[in-house]
Every structure is written in C-alpha cells, then in structure tokens.
C-alpha cells in the first residue's frame, strides 16, 4: 500500500524530553512493560491499518522509565539484565510488533556507549536518557551489493562533519538524537564511529519512506546527512569495541530474538479466542466445534511448545550475555553469541509458526481486513529478514562441532 499523507517527520517532532522515573529493578521493569502492553494493544489494529505513526504511544512508553532500564547503576539507572531487556521488548511486541522494535537501536546505542565511551560521554548521554531523551539509529545503507559503509566522518581543522545517507532508520522519527555509523580515514583505513547527532542539527533530513508490508509504523525510513557539523564529544568509538571481545553483538541480537518471540506470543494469544468462538471445524473432523478438532488441538500444542522453548532459550541466552558483559573475553563473547544465535534461530521459527497457524486455524474469516490478523505474519516475516537465520545455524554447528568462534560483526 503506498504511503499515505499523515503526520510525519515533516510535520511533527518528538515532544521535548521530560525526566523519567528510574525503575527499581528487573521485576519493576517487567511489570511496567505488562501495564503498558495492555494500553498499546487497544489500538494496535487501527495503527497498523491506517499506518498511524505512534508519536503519542512512544511518549507514554518513555514516561514509564523503560527506555532507561539499561543505564548502569553507577550512572543512576537500574542496569537490568539482558534477559529482562529482551523480555520487555517481547511483552511490548506481543501487543504491537512495530512498537516493540522501536527501542531496539536505542538500547544498542547505549551498549556501544557502555563499551566505547569516555566517562564524560557516559555521564552526558546516560544523563540525557534519564532526562527522557530517546536515541534512534542511522546504521544501515542500501544501494550497493557490498557492505562497505559510505557515510563519512570528516575531521577538519575548521570542524568535524558527517556526510552520507542511511536507510532502515528504525525509531529515528521519534528520537531526540540519532546515533550515526560513519567511517573516518585513519592511517589509510576506514575506522567506524557512532556519532550521536541531535535530530534537529542543521543538515539532517528525515524522510518517511519506509513502505514495507510489515512493521509499518516503526518509522524505518531514510535520513540524509549533508555536511552536518558535529562536536568531538558526540563521537564514540565503535570499531575499537568490535576489534576486541565485547558483548555488543550478542546484546543486539538478543533484542531481535525478543521481537520475534513477542510477535509470536501475540499471534498465539489472538489464535485462542478465534478458535474458541469463531472458527468452524472441518467437515471430516466429526466434531461440532473447532476447539474440539483433534488436529486443531495438535497444532495449538505445537505452537505453544515452540514458543515456550523459545522463551526458555531467550532466558538462557540472557545469562550468557550478562556473563560476557561482566567479563568479556574471546570465549565468553563467543559463548554468548552462540547462545543468542540459538535463541534467535528458535524464536524466528516459533514466531513464524505462530503467525501462520493463526491464519491456518482461523480459516478464510481470519483474513477479514478490518481485524488485520495478518499483521502478525507481516510483522514477524518482515522482522525475521533482518539477518539470515541460515547463517546462525551455520555458526552454531561450527562452534559445537569444531570449536570455531563466530565473527564479532554484530549480525550473528
């Protein structure tokens, strides 16, 4: 469906940041997420059908304090576990898959900051998050077959600038700062940095051109950076944090697993009342109600077991990520990467199965446009294309068979 005229980056900006509550602990974060999810679920269908960008919903999300849950305790935040962050995302994604994805890169940027930022940068940027700021992202680029980064950080005696174009900039329409991945020339090679650029900086143009069939309200469009002046204290090393063992990659990936799991859980929750109240049994089943059909019950049981297994793998992977964050070395980071890959591979399959099963058991009436039950399939299918699951299985096998350590590029 073509993009419709609506309130977008050209006509609306996020509200000025307001200080957020600091949630006490992991349990408080999960409780806040559940309360918010109940609120977000009410208009999820309308947002998807009308492609209504969730500016107000993101403000409510921020006001819960959930966007600050990864700020370390020593900087004034609750510093919750990796598994809790992933579960928070899953809870929100079950209510609205698009909104569940929006904070993923915010948390990713904070993990890059934790590993590569100076003390002054951490005090500043963590403080901004506690004061209610949200970070978007400008990481990915399209238009060429290779993965070479074209966006440049130019250091000149007259000042530093960023120049380039990014796509898949999820969450940036709702952000106060946009962390931009850019390369600087150093010693004849390109070195990557993450540059925390204010959204309203001169030369920054946000374009609401995301037109995917799923995750429709994530704001994952383009951003153009035209000779954008940047301050040195906005620039956080990235390449250095990937050249040594850090948990940046597995931390990012466990959040993606949470998105897939959550959408699958939402699909399963939507399947149950539909089967109980509306679906018809197949003529060969010999039963009066779809809920009595033995093949239907088998299919529901299969989905439930797979989602429960994905949830358990997510919890297990979180413990590996926490260990790698606490004592990062080649072995702990590799173990975390593989554990997260296992969780991600399983949540990928379980999420797709749950969304497919909703439509299969619901039958033709489940395709009613007004109910948008297809949004679960569209959302999880779109998000699971983020990076190929086939390569996760490859590195899982290589690690367990031969002890080969997976790459640390962050996309395993």
Residue 2: its pLDDT value, please?
38
Residue 145: its pLDDT value, please?
73
Residue 147: its pLDDT value, please?
75
Tokens, residue 20: 């957020």
Q: Give the sign of the dihedral formed by CA 112, CA 54, CA 49, CA 167.
A: negative
Superfamily (CATH H level) for 26-130: Acyl-CoA dehydrogenase/oxidase, N-terminal domain (1.10.540.10)
For the chain, the structural domain boundaries read 26-130, 152-239, 244-402
The model's pLDDT over 360-380, given as tens digits with 9 standing for 90+, comes to: 999 999 999 999 999 999 999
Residue 9: its pLDDT value, please?
43
CB atoms near residue 169 (< 10 Å): 25
Cβ neighbours of residue 17 under 8 Å, at least 6 residues apart? 62, 128, 131, 132, 133, 134, 176
Is residue 10 predicted with pLDDT exceeding 70? Answer: no
Residue 12 banded pLDDT, cuts 50, 70, 90: confident
CB distance 137 to 174 below 8 Å: no
Tokens, residue 287: 């039963």
Instruction: List, in sequence order, every beta strand (DSSP E) within 131-203.
Output: 152-156, 159-166, 177-186, 189-198
Dihedrals phi, psi of 309, to nearest 5 degrees: -65, -40
Angle between helices 82-95 and 26-41 (to 10 degrees): 10
Task: Give the integer Cα–Cα distance in Å for 221 and 205.
Answer: 11
Which of these CATH numbers, 2.40.30.10, 3.30.465.10, 2.40.110.10, 3.30.450.40, describes 152-239? 2.40.110.10
Q: pLDDT above 70 covers what percent of the chain?
A: 97
Q: Same CATH topology for 26-130 and 152-239?
A: no
Cβ neighbours of residue 156 under 8 Å, at least 6 residues apart? none
The model's pLDDT over 49-80, given as tens digits with 9 standing for 90+, comes to: 999 999 999 999 999 999 999 999 999 999 99
Is residue 7 predicted with pLDDT exceeding 80? Answer: no
The model's pLDDT over 178-224, given as tens digits with 9 standing for 90+, comes to: 999 999 999 999 999 999 999 999 999 999 999 999 999 999 999 99
Task: Give the integer Cα–Cα distance in Å for 1 and 99.
Answer: 20
Lowest mean pLDDT among 20-34, 248-262, 278-292: 278-292
The model's pLDDT over 261-305, given as tens digits with 9 standing for 90+, comes to: 999 999 999 999 999 999 999 999 999 999 999 999 999 999 999
Q: Which CATH architecture has domain 244-402?
A: Up-down Bundle (1.20)
Round the CA-based radius of gyration of the chain to a whole number and report it.
21
Residue 5 banded pLDDT, cuts 50, 70, 90: very low
Q: pLDDT above 90 covers what percent of the chain?
A: 93
């Amino acid at each position: 469906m073509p993009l419709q005229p609506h309130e977008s980056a050209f006509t609306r900006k996020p509200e000025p940041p307001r200080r957020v509550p600091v949630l006490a602990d992991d349990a408080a974060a999960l409780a806040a997420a559940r309360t918010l999810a109940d609120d977000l679920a009410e208009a999820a269908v309308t947002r998807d059908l009308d492609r209504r960008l969730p500016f107000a919903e993101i403000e409510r999300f921020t006001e819960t304090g959930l966007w600050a849950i990864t700020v370390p305790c020593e900087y004034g935040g609750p510093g919750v576990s990796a598994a809790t962050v992933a579960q928070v995302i899953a809870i929100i994604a079950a209510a609205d898959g698009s909104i569940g994805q929006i904070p993923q890169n915010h948390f990713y940027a904070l993990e890059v900051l934790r590993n590569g930022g100076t003390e002054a940068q951490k005090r500043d940027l963590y403080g901004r998050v506690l004061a209610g700021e949200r970070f978007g992202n400008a990481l990915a680029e399209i238009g060429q077959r290779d993965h070479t980064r074209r966006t440049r950080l130019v250091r000149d005696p007259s000042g530093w600038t960023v120049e380039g174009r990014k796509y898949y900039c999820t969450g940036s329409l709702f952000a106060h700062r946009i962390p931009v991945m850019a390369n600087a020339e150093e010693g004849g090679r390109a070195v990557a940095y993450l540059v925390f650029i204010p959204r309203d900086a001169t030369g920054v143009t946000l374009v609401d051109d995301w037109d995917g069939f799923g995750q429709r309200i994530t704001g994952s469009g383009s951003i153009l950076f035209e000779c954008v002046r940047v301050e040195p204290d906005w620039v956080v090393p990235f390449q250095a944090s990937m050249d040594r063992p850090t948990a940046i990659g597995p931390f990012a990936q466990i959040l993606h697993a949470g998105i897939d799991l959550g959408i699958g859980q939402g699909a399963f929750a939507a399947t149950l009342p539909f089967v109980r109240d509306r679906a018809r049994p197949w003529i060969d089943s010999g039963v009066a109600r779809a809920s009595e059909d033995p093949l239907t019950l088998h299919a529901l049981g299969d989905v439930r077991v797979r989602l429960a297994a994905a949830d358990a793998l997510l919890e297990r992977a979180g413990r590996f990520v926490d260990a790698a964050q606490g004592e990062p070395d080649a072995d702990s980071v590799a173990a975390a990467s593989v554990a997260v890959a296992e969780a991600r591979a399983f949540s990928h399959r379980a999420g797709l199965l749950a969304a497919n099963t909703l439509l299969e058991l619901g039958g033709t009436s489940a395709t009613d446009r007004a109910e948008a039950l297809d949004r679960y399939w569209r959302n999880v299918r779109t998000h699971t294309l983020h990076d190929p699951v086939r390569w996760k299985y490859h590195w899982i096998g290589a690690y367990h068979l031969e002890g080969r350590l997976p790459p640390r590029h962050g996309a395993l």
